[in-house]
Amino acid sequence: MKKMTRILFGGTAFFMAFFFVSCSRSPARPSPAVTGNEKTTPEYGGVFTIAYPAEQRGFDSATLNWASVEHLKQTSNTLIQGDWAKGPSGEHLADFDISTPPLAVSIGGPIESWDFVGNDTIILHVRRGVHFGLNPDLEASRLVNGREMSAEDIAFTLRRQFNMEPSVSLPNAYALSRLTPDEFPSSVKTLDEWTVEVKGKPEFIGSLFYWITEMVPVYAPEVVQKYGDLKNIWNDVGTGPFVLADYVLNSSMTFTRNQNYWERDPYGEGKGNQLPYLDRVRYLIIPDLSTQLSAFRTGKIDYIRNVSLDDYKQLIGENPGLKSARIVGYPAGIALRSDRPDQPWHDLRVRQALQMAIDRDAVINDFFEGEAELLAFPIAPRTLFKSLGAYRELESLPPHVQELFQYNPERAKQLLAEAGYPDGFTVEVILSAPQIDLASILQYQLEKIGVRLDLQVRENTVYTSISTGRAHAQGIFFSTFGNTPHAFHDFRPTDPGNLAMIDDPQVNEMIARFAEGFMIDDEKAWAIMGEYTPHILEQSWILFLPAPYTYTLWWPWVKNFSGEYSLGAGHFNNFPRYIWIDQDLKKAMGY
């Protein structure tokens, strides 16, 4: 019966999508049951295989978003990283399934410590014994020859990221477009062979520290100086746990163990062991979801993320021994432009009426089959965000805010009448085809109070152009940024992600106050978000739905793994350095 309810909510598109996926599933190879004789002591060797949906856009991290340069997660290090010992495979103080930058769960990488001097200076203390990886078969790698990293390597890397390195011109540096000039460093220099000094503007020193330590992988200056840039993947030489061994365009990337990697296992039975355990990490480019699922079923890939509830049930049913972790996804909803006084929703009463007209409990129970979080905006309900006071449970909010999330269509109609819209109105909403099912839910529910959603479906590239350019006239359907709240994509007035065009004095105050303590005083900074949450929810700029759970699954031969994904900001899939493969178990299971 629940399936039928979901079909009624979502319409024909949802039914066809469900029918296609159900019919296209590949039969699973039966696997022997997992015995109780599994190993617990880490062993070296084995291959870990990951599926990626598309070829990456490029290879030079200075000209691209660090999060999108996938190969560097294996071959490089940023200056700090998430502390594996504090994640799910350790003390579980953080989930590490998204970008999680707070220093409360971070440790040094190629730097062992740092100091804030005054209000405008960052001192980075370089870790000794960190070497660049060496692959004798690659010319660029032979040029560096596995030498030890120094302070000048870090300083050069940081200067190049901001087009401040005289020997290399880089006017198209990504940081220049991503950050505001206030967040740029004013100087980067070495104080000695093991110390780097970075200066910046006092009010923005925390965001500068975040960028240079979380978003910049260290590379060797001599490679850039010889080849001009790092756009050729074969010129990649980093300090990471693996080195590039093979690359086939639109097909695969393979990395082999860096025999001289600096990091040790920080937790558990293998504590103190030299990392990494794996011989190789392999990426396979698999664009089609059904093909990814088939590859996982047949053991061609070792883990899979963002699995839907239906596919999760199917996979677990076929192989009960699979390991899994449940993750809160991104809440979707409609951003209404708040910058046009002539629109009905410029009136707060109208926005609140729309919020109260959404039956979120029905969405959770009938569409998501109970597998969703009611409140995942403006902050996602993450373990760390809760402990830092950034996330507020609904029950902790003022009664008048809680009321907005209690389904009350009669009160919604009353507010619309008070605002001068007793008969409702029509809202044009831009969306892409994959969003039609969820958008149809809002269309169905809001129509009950006389508000009609004119759903304008656009081809994906057109939708993306409208979204990134904020070119929608009224409303746009999108997924919010509750998992990366420190960036304030939904709220910063000039941010392309601010699709509701919010420019609110209290929110701007929150952003400024947060910046003062960000990456400097975790407890102070992150609690500020929780302080302003009632105001943000009360304003109802965004009509958001519950956030569905998605699932990560992995085969039981993958050890020392609990579903981690990103040990730092944009550090996607950088966990293989800590895991190991029970090769005997894999063989016993027929793979």
Query: For 268-279, what is the mean pLDDT?
Result: 97
Report the alpha-carbon distance of residue 203 to residue 415 in Å, rounded.
42
Q: Is 97 exposed, middle or buried (0-12, 13-18, 19+ CB in 10 A)?
A: buried
pLDDT in tens, 446-467: 999 999 999 999 999 999 999 9
Gyration radius from the chain CA atoms:
25
Residue 503: CB partners within 8 Å, gap ≥ 6?
A: 338, 339, 493
Q: What is the pLDDT of residue 1?
A: 33
The dihedral over CA atoms of 95, 358, 308, 459, expressed in degrees to the nearest 10, equals: -110
Residue located via tokens 């819209």: 421
Query: For 469-496, what is the mean pLDDT?
Result: 91
Query: For 420-441, what is the mean pLDDT?
Result: 96
Statement: residue 190 has pLDDT above 80: yes
Statement: residue 502 has pLDDT above 90: yes
Statement: residue 424 has pLDDT above 50: yes
Q: Give the phi and the psi of residue 46 in degrees, each rounded to 5.
A: 95, 165
How does the average pLDDT of the chain come out, rounded? Answer: 92
Cβ atoms within 10 Å of 171's Cβ, excluding its own: 6
Q: What is the pLDDT of residue 37?
A: 67
Report the alpha-carbon distance of residue 346 to residue 489 in Å, rounded.
21
pLDDT in tens, 356-401: 999 999 999 999 999 999 999 999 998 889 999 999 999 999 999 9
Q: What is the pLDDT of residue 29?
A: 47
Closest CA to 120 of 180, 179, 182, 191: 182
Statement: residue 440 has pLDDT above 60: yes
Give the whole-number percent of the chain exceeding pLDDT 90.
86
Helix or strand (DSSP H, E) at 269:
none
Report the alpha-carbon distance of residue 330 to residue 552 in Å, rounded.
15
Question: Which residues are 83's β-sheet partners?
Answer: none
Report the alpha-carbon distance of residue 435 to residue 88 in Å, rounded.
32
Contact 562, 89 (CB under 8 A): yes
Q: What is the pLDDT of residue 196?
A: 98
The sign of the CA dihedral 140, 141, 144, 148 is: positive
CA–chain centroid gap for 12, Å, is 31
pLDDT in tens, 88-143: 999 999 999 877 667 889 999 999 999 999 999 999 999 999 999 999 999 999 99
Query: For 297-304, what is the mean pLDDT?
Result: 97
Using N-to-C axis directions, what is the helix angle for 436-446 and 12-24, rounded to 10°? Answer: 150
Statement: residue 326 has pLDDT above 70: yes
Report the alpha-carbon distance of residue 234 to residue 240 in Å, rounded.
15
Residue 185: CB partners within 8 Å, gap ≥ 6?
A: 158, 162, 164, 198, 199, 200, 208, 212
Instruction: Please give the domain boundaries of the chain with CATH numbers for all domains.
Output: 47-306+552-588 (3.40.190.10), 332-545 (3.10.105.10)
pLDDT in tens, 60-92: 999 999 989 999 999 999 999 999 999 999 999
Q: What is the pLDDT of residue 582?
A: 97
Q: What is the pLDDT of residue 34?
A: 54
